[in-house]
Amino acid sequence: MEEQGGRRRRLVLVPYPLQGHITPTLQLGTILHSRGFSITIAHSHFNSPDTSNHPDFVFLPLSDDSLSKYNHSDDIVAFISNLNLSCKVPLQELLIEMIEKQEKCEELPCIIYDPIMYSAEAVARHLKLPSIMLRTTSVTFALSFYVYPKIQKEGYTPFQDSKSLELVPEFHPFRFKDLTVFNLKSVDDFLQFVTTITNLQTSGMIWNSIDCLEQSSLAQLRQKSQVPFFLIGPMHKLFPFPSSSLLEEDRSCISWLDKQTENSVLYVSFGSMATVEEKEVAEMTWGLANSKQPFLWVIRPGSVLVSESVDLLLDDFKESVGERGCIVKWAPQKEVLAHSAVGGFWTHCGWNSTLESVSEGVPMICRPFSADQKLNGRYVSHVWRVGVELENGFERREIERAIKLLMEEKEGEEIRQRAAELKQELQLSIQKGGSSYNSLNELVELIMSV
Ligand code: UDP
């Protein structure tokens, strides 16, 4: 991308401290730094990013001592609420100090916040600082936030973990079973959270998405929100970014991939949060073994629940598959998906993973778990048609069938062809004159004007 000199205005980026949100926030920081802005990352102690990879940024930790009592996998809304509560005052104090130290002629800092860190918007408003929202999920997920209060009013409850195949009114092609599932203690708290997020004030919304990917959702959301949108994705393709992984990447899998033939390997990874049970791991091992396909499998520490004998199970499995399989704790995923040996991705459909796969033209087997993943999975399999869905979760025969379909059969070949075409569209969007390219220039103009 072409450089364009921005004034050295300071941008304070406030990420939500989970891997899938930290990565795009740091990527945006790098992109805007290259446009001449100074970057500060105001982050919680919890999941603090690795500062060494970003020597040009200033990192300001916000005290979040009271957070240790809350676990995001038990009750996400309580976790978010307490995170916002504990970070609000420290953020305000940091910003006041920053403004006081500033030269008279300098522009006020601009806050770029993840909407889940909604207290940052309140602080910006209180200090009369400009603020812009960074949405790290899909446009469709944001649109779904307008759907929840409506379907509840119309009596469609409970919508949590619904198995219903009925289409959600005015939200096609999604079914009730595709709606978000969170671990929640209270649906009312969730609806309150949804209302908070949809009513935040902002001078604009930045999206890690692309015009051509979500046209229908985009048109609908534009009717509901009057602020300018900047779709500048896929951000990870704009620069050779340094790693923003919270876990150490095991690069040995790249040497293993180097030895495999083109498009032969199935990459298996469920992101940074999803957990599986031991019996599901057992089904996965059977499905992978019977498919006879080479695979690279990420088993993140702590991702297998109730794992009394999983080590034994995996040791036996590794012995039986030998060199055909490679198992690591955490992979350099973007590099893996860009590797010519990788021909398929069995994914949980986190938004970053979905974008990373689509950007490389890698077709997917979708096994979404929670949050926005079911919506993303539905897009992959039914709108873009670049993947297949595992409808029954983890069942060895279905897994084997899906792998064979994607990696060996004619239907898989057609899916791969569509994935290659979508990859090309995305490549065009970031080139000069493309939609993401233009949007980024418009964003830089907005930041300089607010
Ligand atoms: N990731 C990675 N190595 C792994 C697994 C995942 O680097 O072994 C990265 C992946 O590239 C993506 C992020 O972790 O950028 C996961 O984000 P996503 O939105 O897909 O899912 P989440 O972790 O939020 O559920």
pLDDT tens-place string over residues 119-173: 999 999 999 999 999 999 999 999 999 998 888 888 776 555 577 888 898 898 9
Q: What is the CB neighbour count within 10 angstroms for residue 20?
A: 18
pLDDT tens-place string over residues 221-230: 999 998 999 9
Question: Of 19, 208, 300, which is best to mutate to test ligand 1, by the most ligand atoms within 8 angstroms of its C-beta?
Answer: 19
Atom nearest to 337 CA in ligand 1: 11
Distances (CA, A) of 111 to 6, 96, 337, 418: 16, 13, 33, 39
How many percent of the chain have pLDDT more than 70? 94
For the residues of 172-200, what is the DSSP string, one character each?
Answer: TT-BGGGS-----S-HHHHHHHHHHHHT-
Distance 330 CA to ligand 1 centre (A): 9
pLDDT tens-place string over residues 188-212: 888 888 999 999 999 999 999 999 9
Atom nearest to 369 CA in ligand 1: 25
Atom nearest to 300 CA in ligand 1: 8
Q: How far is residue 168's CA from residue 175's CA, in Å, rounded to a whole number?
A: 5
Query: Does residue 252 carry a pLDDT above 80?
Result: yes
Q: How far is residue 359's CA from residue 422's CA, in Å, rounded to a whole number?
A: 8
Q: What is the CB neighbour count within 10 angstroms for residue 354?
A: 28
For the ranges 61-65, 172-176, 279-283, the lowest mean pLDDT is seen at: 61-65
Q: pTM, whole model, 2 decimals? A: 0.95
pLDDT: is 67 or 362 the higher one? 362
Residue located via tokens 């919270």: 246
Q: Interface pTM (ipTM) of the complex?
A: 1.00
Q: Residue 154: its pLDDT value, please? A: 82
Task: Please report how many Cα atoms fall inside a 13 Å half-sphere around the Cα of residue 98, on the Cβ side.
Answer: 27
Residue with the nearest Cα to atom 21 of ligand 1? 350
pLDDT range class, residue 3, cuts 50, 70, 90: very low
Q: Region 33-42: what's the mean pLDDT? A: 96
Task: Please report how many Cα atoms fall inside a 13 Å half-sphere around the Cα of residue 4, on the Cβ side.
Answer: 15
Residue 286 contacts residue 398 (beta carbons within 8 Å): no
- What domains are there in the chain, each with its CATH number? 3-147+185-243+430-449 (3.40.50.2000), 252-427 (3.40.50.2000)
Q: Residue 41: its pLDDT value, please? A: 97
Q: What is the CB neighbour count within 10 angstroms for residue 232?
A: 28
Q: Residue 129: its pLDDT value, please? A: 96
Q: How far is residue 141's CA from residue 404's CA, in Å, rounded to a whole number?
A: 31
Q: How far is residue 200's CA from residue 391's CA, in Å, rounded to a whole number?
A: 36
Which residues touch 13 (CB under 8 Å, ≥6 apart)?
25, 28, 29, 39, 40, 41, 42, 112, 113, 134
Q: How far is residue 348's CA from residue 32's CA, in Å, rounded to a whole number?
A: 30
Q: Residue 4: its pLDDT value, please? A: 46
Q: Residue 149: its pLDDT value, please? A: 85
For the residues of 332-376, what is the DSSP string, one character each?
Answer: -HHHHHHSTTEEEEEE---HHHHHHHHHTT--EEE---STTHHHH
User: What angle (nearest 5°) sits at the alpha carbon of residue 210, between those of residues 204 and 215?
Assistant: 90
Query: Does residue 231 carry a pLDDT above 80?
Result: yes
Distance 125 CA to ligand 1 centre (A): 32
Q: Residues with Cβ within 6 A of ligand 1?
A: 18-20, 23, 245, 269, 271-273, 298, 330-331, 333-334, 350-353, 356
Query: Does residue 6 carry a pLDDT above 70?
Result: no
Q: Region 403-407: what's the mean pLDDT? A: 98
Q: Residue 185: its pLDDT value, please? A: 67
Q: Residue 191: its pLDDT value, please? A: 86
Residue with the nearest Cα to atom 11 of ligand 1? 333
Q: Residue 161: its pLDDT value, please? A: 59
Distance 317 CA to ligand 1 centre (A): 25
Residue located via tokens 């800092």: 109
Residue 148 contacts residue 77 (beta carbons within 8 Å): no
Atom nearest to 328 CA in ligand 1: 8
Atom nearest to 18 CA in ligand 1: 24
Query: Does residue 60 carry a pLDDT above 50?
Result: yes
Q: Residue 158: its pLDDT value, please? A: 55
Average pLDDT of the chain is 92
